Chain A
Amino acid sequence: EDQVTQSPEALRLQEGESSSLNCSYTVSGLRGLFWYRQDPGKGPEFLFTLYSAGEEKEKERLKATLTKKESFLHITAPKPEDSATYLCAVQGNDRGSTLGRLYFGRGTQLTVWP
């Protein structure tokens, strides 16, 4: 079965202190790697899709990158409003399965303090 591991589990940053979140994955034939943001009591909010090694995508203070085994979510000069849990998910060509299923990691809980 496809596996997704995120690290660290929790991260505390001071406002303006840049850092990166890691997502390691094993999948049979990557169809897509997805990053989501989840605030307490809410559903995951879509951020990025990455399809192949070397690809990068940016949105405001966030930048996602992809290699053959892992993805990074870089946060530049974070603000308190960036505090949330960031989830990574993959979709692959595992045996017999449809293309619909996403496999999620447990997430990184990010706290940015002023």
Chain B
Amino acid sequence: NAGVMQNPRHLVRRRGQEARLRCSPMKGHSHVYWYRQLPEEGLKFMVYLQKENIIDESGMPKERFSAEFPKEGPSILRIQQVVRGDSAAYFCASSPHGTGGVEQYFGPGTRLTVT
């Protein structure tokens, strides 16, 4: 049973470029969450999506960041015009449903480096 998959695992972008991070949830899971882990900081929630719907994006910066989870295909976290402060590990998690108290299973992460 495949776990949460993320790609690429490592991504290097120059300032001003776009970064696209992909996440395929566990089989049977329809709820996806994105978190960011900055060096020396804890995991911070960014956005919660279901298929074709953004449920909660309150943790995501208002500018340059967007997320989607289309009917077909992986969830995408998109960062436009990256800056050095965007360098971090981005983790995707999934759960079978959104009812409170359900554990989330994490992928291996994408480590974004902005040069």
Chain B proximity of A68: nearest CB distance (Å): 16
Given the interface pairs A104-B43, A106-B41, A107-B42, the reply to whether A99 lies near B100 with Cβ below 8 Å is yes
Residues in B72-107 with C-beta less than 8 Å from chain A: 91, 95, 98-107
A100 and B56 in contact (CB under 8 A), knowing A31-B100, A32-B102, A44-B43? Answer: yes
Q: Is A42 an interface residue (CB 8 A)?
A: yes
- Which residues of A pack against B, CB within 8 Å? 4, 31-32, 34, 36, 42-46, 49, 51, 87, 89, 91, 93, 97-107
- Given A42-B109, A107-B42, A100-B103 contact (CB < 8 Å): no
Q: Is the CB of A87 within 8 A of B100?
A: no
Q: Which residues of B contact A (CB under 8 A)?
A: 4, 6, 31, 33, 35, 41-45, 48, 55-56, 58-59, 91, 95, 98-109
Picked from A36, A42, A87, A98, the residue with its CB within 8 Å of the CB of B98 is A98
Expressed in whole angstroms, the minimum distance between the Cβ of B14 and any Cβ of chain A is 23
Knowing A43-B107, A97-B56, say if A102 contacts B45 (CB, 8 Å). Answer: yes
Return 23 A-B CB contacts under 8 Å, by A number.
Answer: A4-B42, A32-B102, A34-B104, A42-B109, A43-B4, A43-B91, A43-B108, A45-B106, A46-B105, A51-B101, A98-B48, A98-B55, A98-B98, A99-B98, A100-B31, A100-B33, A100-B55, A101-B58, A101-B59, A102-B104, A104-B43, A106-B42, A107-B42
A51 to B101, CA, bound (A): 7
Q: Which 5 A-B pairs have the closest CB atoms?
A: A31-B100, A32-B101, A99-B100, A43-B106, A100-B48
| Bound complex: CA A104 to CA B109 (Å) | 16
- Closest A residue to B50 using CB positions: A100
Out of A31, A32, A34, A103, name the residue touching B45 (CB < 8 Å). A103
Q: Contacts A100-B31, A102-B35 given; 15 further ones with Cβ under 8 A?
A: A32-B102, A42-B108, A43-B106, A49-B101, A51-B101, A89-B43, A91-B101, A99-B98, A99-B100, A100-B33, A100-B55, A100-B56, A102-B33, A106-B41, A107-B42
